Amino acid sequence: MATTETNAPAATGDPRPTAYAELTGLLRETAVLASASATLAWDQETMMPPAGAALRADQLSALTALVHERRTSPRVAELLAECEADASLAADEVVAANLREIRRGYELATRLPTSLVREIAETSSKALEAWRDARERDDFAAFAPWLEKVVGLNRSKAECYGVPEGGEPYDALLDEFEPGMTSAEVRGVFDALRAGLAPLIADIAGASRRPDQRLARVPVPATTQSELARRVLERIGFDLRAGRLDVSTHPFCEGLGPGDTRLTTRYADEGFVDGLVSALHEAGHGMYEQGLPKAEHFGQPIAESASLGIHESQSRLWENMVGRSRPFWEWALPEARRVVGSALDGVDVEEAYGFLNTVDPGLIRVEADEATYNLHIMLRFDVERGMLGGDLPVRDLPGVWNERVKQDLGIEVPDDRRGCLQDIHWSLGALAYFPTYTLGNLYAAQLWEAVRAALPGLDDRMREGDFTPLLGWLRENVHRHGRRFTAPELCRRATGKPLSPEPLLRYLEGKLRPLYGI
Amino acid sequence: MATTETNAPAATGDPRPTAYAELTGLLRETAVLASASATLAWDQETMMPPAGAALRADQLSALTALVHERRTSPRVAELLAECEADASLAADEVVAANLREIRRGYELATRLPTSLVREIAETSSKALEAWRDARERDDFAAFAPWLEKVVGLNRSKAECYGVPEGGEPYDALLDEFEPGMTSAEVRGVFDALRAGLAPLIADIAGASRRPDQRLARVPVPATTQSELARRVLERIGFDLRAGRLDVSTHPFCEGLGPGDTRLTTRYADEGFVDGLVSALHEAGHGMYEQGLPKAEHFGQPIAESASLGIHESQSRLWENMVGRSRPFWEWALPEARRVVGSALDGVDVEEAYGFLNTVDPGLIRVEADEATYNLHIMLRFDVERGMLGGDLPVRDLPGVWNERVKQDLGIEVPDDRRGCLQDIHWSLGALAYFPTYTLGNLYAAQLWEAVRAALPGLDDRMREGDFTPLLGWLRENVHRHGRRFTAPELCRRATGKPLSPEPLLRYLEGKLRPLYGI
């Protein structure tokens, strides 16, 4: 497609800025302020000295208010309405996508009454404190009233957003994180995935073969791990001249804006593989950010990711499909040996591959392996919908949770700390966020099948440490589109098919059955 | 003094905020935005990836505009006038100082017409480029038109600010950096200092004794230098829980706000002393920032430094009076040996002391020693006044410069790169900034005499690595006052005397004559 909105307004010959040009100009100014705020948030997690916390809170709250004021300004509404009334603009696909998404963002930002926004903010900050304390003391009863309040506020939020016809309240919340996806669709895909995973996980549990876990204990200094991660990131295509890699307690990726994407990871004292795999995960997010069309379209929806699920698909693809594959380690292990030295003596690709693909059902989501991880998510998806719809009273949550873990993972939950109190998300007020993680795994596997079909020599290239064909395919089929299409539509265009559980099941089956000899 | 403005407004019993409370509230909000901007500026020099430069420029310019808009808002003028009319406020010393300085800042920010502000900004950015190029090619003629323009703009600026009665245009410019000081006073002190320095430097030039320079070449890895600098900073009293130490091309200190003061230094490949002394210099700035009354008064002038000269006095005191002293090195050398290891074998305190106090007249200001440094400054002070007053045509600058260097330092200037093109300041549009460096040296020496008189056991405490009495005295007599007094008044209060060249001359004589055996 040759036309872009840069051409469209110029064609009118009017020297005054068109409504569309003024609108995108305002959005760019707002994005610049939001990116300043994001830089401060990054600094807070990585650089800020402890005593700077109070000032930082004031800075962030001042900038958040300025950004919100600009996003919800009446002038945006006027310009947007003017553009929507101009039929000529709809002809340009980029402009049309921008207008659709600017409208969506404006409604999300303005439909909630200020009183509700304030109540959500106040509740979250208190609920977070209550959750930290309740988890520490393993006291679900102390957190339950807060969770009830969070659920209630999310119900109000869903009402304000409006439940789509034939949908359920959960859809209204899901739309914030995963636009274009309904909970009925998610349920359909999740149910099929669960049905396929159960026998695989059961068979693995009964297998007699177990991968060696020695790599968990190889001691590698943090500076060496950092050096290795940096080399690997550079090779896979994360541009360190337009980004950074640092250390933080919880790894994250922050795309600050054009030319500045920052990743963090963490390095364990024992074992170097987790730190590297976590860096690969964040670099997957980071290369997506670097591939979005921000240079031209910063501030416009078209320069943003399609959804959280698609964002997560990029991190999971590099972490799992690449970073836990044999071809990758055929290149990466000699590289690691050069950096790490004798600590890796005697380790071969098969050992690394086995270690990285160990399936071991456990209580904690964030420590789960590629196969069982999705069961943790489906559990959360189901209890969230139950609580929101009222079928699951909050007080019954621990019982339902523990029974489901027993049923799906075959383990007893010894306490709520390692059960329904383990995640931070609800205490932050976020319901309907969890499914985007498994949607990420599903999209990743489906994209992976498509890219392998399109690039038959991919494994050989990876063995040589050449990741350009893979990154090129992702740039072309995913990154450059930004938010032009909804996630389901992007999936159809990139893979030729609607989202399906089959590719992820095929991928896990094809990897884990041979590994475990089942 | 027990009363503060926090009490004053409450005494009215009126539930509406008083004009003074509203005014300081507005100033605080503005300071929060300015501190966000300062954090981004720090990031730019230390962390930002190269490709992030364009976005950063946009962020900084957006925040600068917001800060300027708030600083010059009509509401500030209204509230300020209301406060000034309220005689009861003048009774509180802090409030009175704040009002005096808020007025001064408001005038500085509003007296220049927008067109002049824009012309200065545009000229500086082009002059900077022209200077870089001219210095590179050693082509003064190419920079001369830009310097003429900068001088002309500074003349206009001085007119807008208004030349004080009996003063000269330079006074109006000096007031921006060193409020309360006139160029006549500076000239008086500088002339006496020059008269005293000349024979000392001549005698040193004729001395047969020369300090050993071996320490310039001791190789110490940057990570080790950083570890040592951190230990020393912690010991002298820079609070690393409320600050950081990083690396940048040009060392600096940025006091971002309460609880967050950030220093940078640089580490040479050969020699570790320069990096440490530069860290001490920045920590001197940093401890001043940490000692200002920001916790209560952030955003108010009272929480700011008295002047650039006083700020520089704090850095020079720790760098020179402490960091180049025997008692300091009696503590620091064993400490350095513990961190650095065998590279320091055979080095004793006398060798370190001699090396650190070497006097060696040279062409470059930033590489100059403690004694000759001031001659570089006085040269700049004189030619700046000449150019501004019109007595020195810009085209004659190189000739005048070179003759003066020959006369003062006894060396031929081989080219303008190492002559009148060496400094960045003029290309940034700043005239009248240079004298604050030597004012810093003068204030430092005068404070040093006062603190030594007040704390007779100071040397012994430093030998033990105990710097708390010294820092305590500076906190009490300098830091906590912020901008309550002008710099000359602060000097009188802390030392009992007006600023004089004698303490610096006594300090240099007392150190250098014995060292050089003259």
pLDDT value of position A269: 84
Instruction: Output the CA torsion A180→A185→A191→A194 (10° steps).
Output: -20
Task: State the Rg of chain A over Cα.
Answer: 23
Token pair of B330, please? 């009696």
What pLDDT is attached to residue B164?
A: 81
Interface mutation target, options A55, A56, A248, A253, chain B, most CBs of B under 10 Å: A55
Question: Which of B351, B432, B372, B348 has the alpha carbon at shortest distance from B202?
Answer: B372
A247 touches chain B (CB under 8 A): no
The set of residues, in sequence order, having a beta carbon less than 8 Å from that of B494 and lying 6+ positions away, is B447, B450, B477, B478
Cβ neighbours of B36 in A, within 8 Å:
36, 40, 59, 62-63
Question: Which range, A54-68, B168-182, B455-469, is most confident?
Answer: B455-469
Rounded Cα gap, residues B381 and B434, in angstroms: 7
Q: Kindly state whether residue A67 falls inside one of the protein's structural domains.
A: yes
- Give the nearest partner residue to A62 out of B32, B47, B258, using CB atoms: B32
d(CA A297, CA A19): 16
A75 occurs within a structural domain: yes
Burial A464-498 (b: 16+ CB within 10 A, else e): ebbbeebbebbbebbbebbbbbbbbebbeebbeee
Burial string for B68-84 (b: 16+ CB within 10 Å, else e) reads eebbeeeebeebbeebe
Please give the full DSSP string across A202-245, using - where no structure is assigned.
HHHHH-S-----GGGG-B--HHHHHHHHHHHHHHHT--GGGEEE
Cβ–Cβ gap B53/A244 under 8 Å: no
ipTM of the complex in this document: 0.92
Q: How far is A25 from chain B (nearest CA, A)?
A: 13
Measure the CA–CA gap between A411 and A375, rounded to whole angstroms. Answer: 13
Contacts 24+ apart (CB under 8 A), B498-503: B499/B185, B499/B189, B499/B439, B499/B442, B499/B443, B499/B446, B500/B189, B500/B442, B500/B446, B501/B189, B501/B190, B501/B192, B501/B193, B501/B196, B501/B442, B503/B442, B503/B445, B503/B446, B503/B448, B503/B449
Closest to B242 (Cβ–Cβ): which among A51, A63, A66?
A51
Sheet containing strand B243-247, strands side by side: B243-247, B260-265, B253-257
- A96 pLDDT exceeds 90? yes
**Span B43-59, average pLDDT:** 95
Residue A99 phi, psi (nearest 5): -65, -45
Q: Name residue, tokens 């920010």.
A: B109
SS (H, E, C) B316-342: HHHHHHHCCCHHHHHHHHHHHHHHHHH
Cα–Cα distance measured from residue B295 to residue B293, given in angstroms and rounded to the nearest whole number: 6
Integer CA distances (angstroms), A490 to A271, A317, A494, A496, in order: 38, 16, 6, 9
pLDDT band at B5 (very low <50, low <70, confident <90, very high): very low
pLDDT digits (tens, 9 = 90+) for A190-211: 999 999 999 999 999 999 999 9
Q: What mean pLDDT is predicted for residues B419-432?
A: 94
Grade residue B323 by pLDDT with cuts at 50, 70 and 90: very high
- For A57, list phi and psi in degrees, rounded to 5: -60, -40
Catalytic residue among B168, B282, B312, B449: B282
Report the C-alpha gap between B309 and B320 in whole angstroms.
15
Whether residue A47 is contained in a domain is answered as yes
In this structure, chain A runs to a length of: 518
Structure tokens at B40: 């981004």
- Give the pairing of strands A260-265 and A253-257: antiparallel
Q: Is the pLDDT of residue B2 over 50?
A: no
pLDDT at B13: 52
Cβ-contact A413, A419 below 8 angstroms: yes
Q: What 3-state DSSP class applies to A293?
A: coil
- B253-257/B260-265 β-pairing: antiparallel
Cα distances (angstroms) measured from residue B91 to each of B12, B94, B96, B300: 15, 9, 7, 18
Taking CB atoms and an 8 Å cutoff, what residues of chain B touch A47?
47, 244
For residue B261, the surrounding DSSP H or E stretch is strand B260-265
User: How many contacts, defined by CB atoms under 8 Å, are there between A and B?
Assistant: 104
Confidence of residue A278 (pLDDT cuts 50, 70, 90): very high
* Helix or strand holding residue B247 (H, E): strand B243-247
For residue B9, pLDDT beyond 90: no
What's the distance, CA A366 to chain centroid?
Answer: 13
Q: For the residues B292-316, what does the mean pLDDT come to? A: 97
Residue given tokens 């379209």 in the structure block:
A297
SS3 state of residue A256? strand
Tell me what the mean pLDDT of segment B492-496 comes to. 98
Could you tell me the residue range of the domain that residue B14 belongs to? 7-110
Give the residue among A437, A435, A494, A445 at the shortest CA–CA distance from A181: A435
**A34-53 burial code (b ≥16 CB/10 A, e <16):** bbbbbbbbbbbbbbbbebbe
- Check: CB of residue B474 under 8 Å from CB of residue B287: yes
Report the distance separating Cα A274 and Cα A423, nearest Å.
20
Q: In this structure, what token pair is assigned to residue A49?
A: 């000295």
What average pLDDT score do residues A269-285 get?
93
By CB atoms closer than 10 A (0-12, 13-18, 19+), residue A371 is buried
Residue B54 in contact with partner chain A when CB distance is under 8 A: yes
CB contact, 8 Å: A63 with chain B? yes
- Can you read off the two tokens belonging to residue B327? 């008692």
Structural tokens at position B27: 């100033």
List Cα–Cα distances, A130 to A124, A126, A133, A147, A426, in angstroms.
10, 6, 5, 10, 11
Query: What separation, in Å, do the N-terminal and C-terminal C-alpha atoms of chain B show?
Result: 49
Overall domain count for chain B: 1
Report the residue of B27, B58, B241 to disrupt the A interface, i.e. the one with the largest count of A CBs within 10 Å. B58
Give the one of A55, A56, A259 whose C-beta lies nearest to B55's C-beta. Answer: A259
The structure tokens listed for A138 are 């393993």
Report helix, strand and coil shares of chain A as percent, to nearest 5: 70, 5, 25
Exposed/middle/buried for A59, CB within 10 Å: 0-12, 13-18, 19+?
A: buried
Enumerate the β-bridge partners of residue A255: A261
Quickly state the pLDDT bin for A95 (edges 50, 70, 90). very high
Contact yes or no for A51 and B239 at CB 8 A: yes
pLDDT on residue B163: 87
Closest chain A residue by Cα to residue B59: A32
For residue A10, what pLDDT is reported?
44
Element (H, E) at B264: strand B260-265
A55 touches chain B (CB under 8 A): yes
All residues of chain B having their beta carbon less than 8 Å from the beta carbon of residue A296 are none
Taking residues B122-129, report their average pLDDT.
90
CA distance A226 to A221: 9
Q: Give the nearest partner residue to A49 out of B50, B56, B242, using CB atoms.
A: B242
Report pLDDT for A8. Answer: 43
Q: If you average pLDDT over residues B331-349, what whole number do you get?
A: 93
CB contact residues (below 8 A), chain A span 289-328, against chain B: 298
Can you tell me the distance from the alpha carbon of B420 to that of B125, in angstroms, rounded to the nearest whole number? 19
Tokens, residue B310: 């006083």
Percentage above 90 pLDDT, chain A:
90
Give percent above pLDDT 70 in chain B: 97
| Nearest residue in B to A290, CA atom | B51
Distance from CA of B291 to the nearest CA of A (A): 14
Number of H helices, E strands in chain B: 22, 3
Q: How many residues does chain B have?
A: 518
Q: Is residue A472 part of a domain?
A: no
- Closest chain B residue to A64 measured between Cα atoms? B33
Sign of CA dihedral A279, A283, A284, A286: positive
| Mean residue pLDDT across chain B | 94
What's the gap in Å between the CA of A257 and the closest CA on chain B?
Answer: 7
Answer whether A66 touches B (CB < 8 Å).
yes
The answer to whether residue B32 sits within a structural domain is: yes
Q: Give pLDDT, residue B114.
A: 87
Residue position matching structure tokens 């395919």: A473
Confidence of residue A14 (pLDDT cuts 50, 70, 90): low
Q: Do B36 and A33 touch (CB under 8 A)?
A: no
Q: Is the pLDDT of residue B396 over 90?
A: yes
Q: Is the CB of residue A453 less than 8 Å away from at least one CB of chain B?
A: no
Outline where A346-396 has alpha helix (H). Answer: 349-356, 373-389
Q: Do A259 and B52 touch (CB under 8 A)?
A: yes
Distance from CA of B221 to the nearest CA of A (A): 15
Catalytic residues of A: 282
pTM, full prediction: 0.93
CB B151 within 8 A of CB B394: yes
Q: Show residues of chain B in contact with A257, CB under 8 Å.
A: 52, 55
> Across chain A, what does the average pLDDT equal?
94
**Which pLDDT value is given to residue B14?**
57
pLDDT tier, A1 (very low <50, low <70, confident <90, very high otherwise): very low
Question: What is the distance between the alpha carbons of residues A65 and A74, in angstroms, rounded to a whole number?
Answer: 15
- What strands, in cross-sheet order, belong to the sheet with A243-247? A243-247, A260-265, A253-257
Considering only CB atoms, which chain B residues are within 8 Å of A242?
49-52
Closest-CA distance, A350 to chain B, in angstroms, reads 37
Max intra-chain CA distance, chain B:
76
In a domain, B508, yes or no: no
Distance CA A90, CA A69 (A): 27
